[in-house]
Amino acid sequence: MWKFFLGLSLLLSSVQIGQTQVQEPCAAAHYLHHLEATHPGFEAATRQVYDRVRGQGQARDLTLVTIPVVVHLVYQNEAQNLPDSLIEAVLEVLNQDYRRLNVDAIQVREDFLPVVDDPFIQFELVGVERVATTATFELNLFGGTLPDNVKTTATGGSDAWDPEHHLNIWVCNIEGGALLGYAYPPADLSHWPEGASAPSPGLDGVVVHYEVFRRTGTFTTSGLFGLGNITVSVRGRTITHEVGHYLGLRHIWGDGLLSTFGIPDCNADDGVEDTPNQGLNSQFSCDPANNTCNEGSGDLPDMWENFMDYAQEDCQNSFTFGQIEIMRSVLDNERAGLIEGSVSTRNVQLPTSTLRLYPNPATDNFVIQREENTSATVRLLNAQGQITRQWLSWTQNRLEVATASLPAGLYYVQYVSREGQLTQAVVVE
């Protein structure tokens, strides 16, 4: 049931309180308090985990780590079958946001400049799975279920690649309204209640509505329970937010019970010391005057710049030191498998017989031949390891590679599929 707490992102409803129309992720918070009722001590346990992380006294000399990403595009029609170029463009947003290379980072208000930083986390797209389906992927709040059927082939979705070593991102049409994405927090965090994380390793990862898996435009969805419409600016940042959950972060406003009803809950906290105390999500307003918990002298306004708020995506731009410490601690512990060794060595080595390259040496072209026709990514790397060509979601048995325009020399064909990876040399004359 944990999924309804950290997991639900941008789960919106429209609630009428007095004359004020407020938008709230009320289901998420409702489920948090359901958890507290069914797992006594749940909130206290959560706090303990954050205390553990904070206690590690992080130095700021972070090394750059790379997380391999597999995108599963599960589509019901061609409009949902997003092109490779878009997948790469959205991954670029993720890479910018987790390296603080996003050009709008400079827009963070001066109040928060001392606490924001670069997480030193990057993402490498290693695979794209495309699955045409007739299945539907529905949020059912009353039944208490998320559309996890997108994560298994048997239920019309796409099976995860080894979830210990890959971040799996499923992109699909999420029906039921109001849900733009969700993610499970890490498994095995100490003191976590049973059943807090993904129900099984294969269900771990991030799910994103295909309508927000792009870099521009707006998306309008009905509010929770069909109340009101909500329009969000889309900048590809739903996955930035969801990956934050996946790496252990909570919403910045702390998901307090009162906030469920649009009343600032300043006692609820996200467990991060350097985020301001915030009683509500920013409800897609980026108004500098927003300040739900005014604590007098030295008080900071609400931080709608934070990726873990619910703000318009074009005014989100930052993670704080405290948030970065949590994510990096999760990568050193619960999700260490994601950053073990290099991306290529984290995958199982496939037998050399998997691929046949000919002719080798090649003059005008060469052929990559295989027996299997599962989805794979094929890259042609030069001797320096730089990508010169890339084919995502290759599903054929035979790929002809023209080499006439390539400088003569040694190249490597890197082949990555769900089953593992293989690199073979080819000489271009």
Residues acting as catalytic residues: 242
Nearer to Zn ion, 311 or 339 (CB): 311
- Shortest CB 342 distance to Zn ion, Å: 31
Residue with smaller CB distance to Zn ion, 9 or 278: 9
CA 10/CA 6 separation, integer angstroms: 11
Residue closer to Zn ion, measured from CB, 93 or 350: 93
The answer to the question of residue 283 lying near Zn ion (CB under 5 A) is no
Report in angstroms how near the CB of residue 260 gets to Zn ion at its nearest: 14
Nearer to Zn ion, 9 or 173 (CB): 9
Closest by CA to 7, choosing from 135, 176, 202, 147, is 147
Cβ 245 to Zn ion, closest distance in Å? Answer: 6
28/380 with CB nearer Zn ion: 28
Cα separation values, 20 from 208, 262, 289, Å: 30, 9, 17
Q: Are 80 and 210 in contact (CB under 8 A)?
A: yes
Q: Kindly state the helix (H) or strand (E) to which residue 327 belongs, with its residue range.
A: helix 321-332
Residue of this chain nearest to Zn ion (CB atom): 9
Please give the span between the terminal C-alpha atoms of the chain, in angstroms, as a whole number. 59
Nearer to Zn ion by Cβ, of 156 and 236: the residue is 236
Tell whether residue 259 is a contact of Zn ion (CB under 5 A).
Answer: no
Question: Is the peptide bond between 359 and the residue preceding it cis, with omega within 30 degrees of 0?
Answer: yes
Window of 3-11, 197-205, 222-230, 407-415 that interacts with Zn ion by CB under 5 A: 3-11
Chain centre distance of CA 326: 16
Two tokens, residue 91: 């991954």
Q: How far is the CB of 202 from Zn ion (least distance, A)?
A: 22
Tokens at residue 92, please?
């670029």
Q: Contacts for 292-299 with beta carbons within 8 Å, 24 or more apart?
A: 292/253, 292/264, 292/266, 293/264, 293/266, 295/266
The DSSP H or E segment spanning 126 is strand 121-132
Count of residues that interact with Zn ion, criterion CB under 5 A: 1
| Contacting Zn ion within 66-125 (CB under 5 A) | none
Could you give the CA distance from residue 93 to residue 101 in angstroms, rounded to a whole number?
9
Is the CB of 2 or the CB of 161 nearer to Zn ion?
2
Stretch that binds Zn ion, among 1-9, 39-47, 147-155, 199-207 (CB under 5 A): 1-9
Q: Specify the stretch interacting with Zn ion by CB under 5 A; choose among 6-14, 89-97, 229-237, 260-268.
A: 6-14
Q: Which residue has the tokens 């500098």?
A: 288
Pair of tokens at residue 105: 């980072």
User: Residue 143 Cβ, how far from Zn ion at the closest point, in Å?
Assistant: 21
Tokens, residue 293: 């918990």
- The residues in 7-46 that bind Zn ion, with binding defined as CB under 5 A, are 9
* Residues present in the chain in total: 429
Min. distance of Cβ 281 from Zn ion in angstroms? 9
Q: Which uninterrupted H or E stretch holds 246?
A: helix 238-246
Q: How far is the CB of 251 from Zn ion (least distance, A)?
A: 5
Cα separation, 338 vs 343, whole angstroms: 9
> CA 421 to CA 415: how far, in whole Å?
5
Q: What are the residues binding Zn ion (CB under 5 A)?
A: 9
